[in-house]
Amino acid sequence: MGKFTARVFNNRANIKEDLTLAARHAWTLPFLATPWNAESLTQSELHPGSYNNVGDVINLSLQTMVPMERRTYSPGTIACYPEHYASTAGREKWFFINGICTSPPIAILNGLELAKAFHRPIHLIHTPTYGVVRDLWDSITARTLRKDGKLSRPAYDVVKEALVHHDKVVIIGHSQGTIISSYIARKLLKDKRYRHHAPKLEIYCVAGVADSCRIDPELSEHFGRGVPYVEHFANGKDFFCRIGVLAHLEHTAGAVFTIPDRTGHLLNDHYLPGIWRGEYCDQRSRLFKYIDGNSPSSTDYVAHDLNIAPSHPSVMPEPIMKAANH
C-alpha cells in the first residue's frame, strides 16, 4: 500500500465527516465573497483600485487561475509598516499567515491593512498560491489527511526562532493560515528544545478552516491562561468556518467569537473591520486590545478551559460560546 493510499485509509472517517459537512453547508458557498467592497475602513481584496497598478491585478488573477509551482514571496522576512510608525526596541514580533489564492499583491494588501489596524509592523509568512484547485487540494491534505508538513514546517522554523529573540510573538492566521497556525502550536508543544517559549506565543485565527487547535494543560495551569494563547473569529455564514472551527468546537481551544448572520470569507472585506470595531467580541477579546497600537494588560485574557489536553477534545466554557449581537 502506497503512503498516500495508507493515509487515505487511515483517515477515512475524517474524509467522510468532511464530505458530509461540505454537503450540509454548501448553501453558504455563494456568500463567500459577499458583501463586496462594503467597507470604507479597509481596502477590498476584490477592488482593482486597492492595488498599485493594473499589473498587480493581472498578476493576482493569473496566479489564482493558472496552476503552477511558485516560491514564497516572504518567508517572514518582509514586513508591512503602518504610516507614521516610530520604531521601538522590538520586544514583540507579529506575523501574518495568509489563506488560499493569495498572490504577493494580496498578501501585501492584507499586511498593510493589518499594520494600519494594529499600528505595528506585520511580517508576512507568505504561502504561495499554486492556483485555486491545487490550493484547495493542499488544504484538504493538510487538514483531513494530516499531511501538513510542506506548508507548515517552514513557518514553524520562522516562528520558533522569533520566540527565542522576542518577549512576545503574535500570529494572525487567515483561512488556510489557521491550519498552519494550529500546526505551529502543536509542533511547538512537542518540541522539547522550544516548548518553554510557548507562553510567549499568541495565535489569532480568522475565518478558521482548521478542525482542531490545542493548548498545553500543564503550562496553561501554571500561567492561569491558555498556553499558547488562542482566539478565533468566525462569520456564521462563512462556508469555511462552518466546516472548520464552528463544526469542531469540541476540539478547539481558545475563545471563539462569532457573528451568526454575517457572510463573507475575505480578511479585509469581511473580517478586519468588525475586529477593528470590536463587533465580534463586544470589545472583550485580547486581540481588540491591540487595536490602534494599544497593548493589553497582563490580565487581559479570555478564559480557557485549562483541562484541555493536546490529545483530548476541548470543552468550551459558556462565555466563549456567546455570539455578538450585530
Residue-by-residue DSSP string for 108-162: HHHHHHHHHHHTS-EEEE------HHHHHHHHHHHHTS---HHHHHHHHHHHHHH
Q: Residue 182: enclosing H or E segment and its boundaries? A: helix 176-190
Tell me if 61 is assigned to some domain.
Answer: yes
pLDDT of amino acid 111: 98
Tell me if 151 is assigned to some domain.
Answer: yes
- DSSP 3-state helix, strand, coil percentages of the chain (rounded to 5)? 45, 15, 40
Tell me if 63 is assigned to some domain.
Answer: yes
Across the beta sheet with 255-259, the strand order is: 75-80, 122-125, 92-97, 168-174, 201-206, 229-235, 255-259
Q: Is the pLDDT of residue 18 over 90?
A: no
The boundaries of the domain holding residue 281 are: 3-321
Question: Of 17-21, 180-184, 285-289, which gets the smallest average pLDDT?
Answer: 17-21
The span from the CA of 183 to the CA of 177, in Å, is 10
User: What is the residue whose three cell numbers read 509551482?
Assistant: 69
pLDDT of amino acid 149: 64
Could you tell me what percent of the chain has a pLDDT over 90?
75
Closest listed residue to residue 258, CA positions, set 274, 277, 276 = 274
pLDDT of amino acid 36: 87
Q: Indicate the pLDDT class of residue 1, thresholds 50, 70 and 90.
A: low
pLDDT of amino acid 148: 65
Q: The CATH number of the domain where 312 resides is what?
A: 3.40.50
Tell me if 205 is assigned to some domain.
Answer: yes
Average pLDDT, rounded, for the chain? 89
Could you tell me what percent of the chain has a pLDDT over 70?
90
Look at residue 46 and give its three-state secondary structure. Answer: coil
Tell me if 282 is assigned to some domain.
Answer: yes
pTM recorded for the entire structure: 0.91
The span from the CA of 287 to the CA of 83, in Å, is 20
Q: Indicate the pLDDT class of residue 312, thresholds 50, 70 and 90.
A: very low
109: Cα within 13 Å, side-chain hemisphere: 24
Q: What average pLDDT does range 202-214 have in this prediction?
A: 95
Q: Is the pLDDT of residue 315 over 50?
A: no
Query: Within its chain, how far is the Cα of 67 from the centroid?
Result: 24
Give the pLDDT confidence of 75-120 residue by residue, as tens digits. 999 999 999 887 765 799 999 999 999 999 999 999 999 999 999 9
Closest listed residue to residue 72, CA positions, set 97, 45, 44 = 97
Tell me if 153 is assigned to some domain.
Answer: yes
Q: Is the pLDDT of residue 323 over 60?
A: no
pLDDT of amino acid 305: 58
Look at residue 93 and give its three-state secondary structure. Answer: strand
Query: CB count, 10 Å around CB of 207?
Result: 28
Give the pLDDT confidence of 242-276 residue by residue, as tens digits. 999 999 999 999 999 999 999 999 999 999 999 99
Please name every residue paired with 168 in a beta bridge, in sequence order, or none if there are none: 92
Tell me if 326 is assigned to some domain.
Answer: no
Q: What average pLDDT does range 301-311 have in this prediction?
A: 58
User: What is the residue whose three cell numbers read 514586513?
Assistant: 79
pLDDT of amino acid 317: 33
Q: Indicate the pLDDT class of residue 318, thresholds 50, 70 and 90.
A: very low
Give the pLDDT confidence of 31-74 residue by residue, as tens digits. 999 998 888 899 999 999 999 999 999 999 999 999 998 999 99
Q: Is the pLDDT of residue 129 over 70?
A: yes
Q: Indicate the pLDDT class of residue 139, thresholds 50, 70 and 90.
A: confident
Tell me if 132 is assigned to some domain.
Answer: yes
Work out how many domains the chain is built from and give that number.
Answer: 1
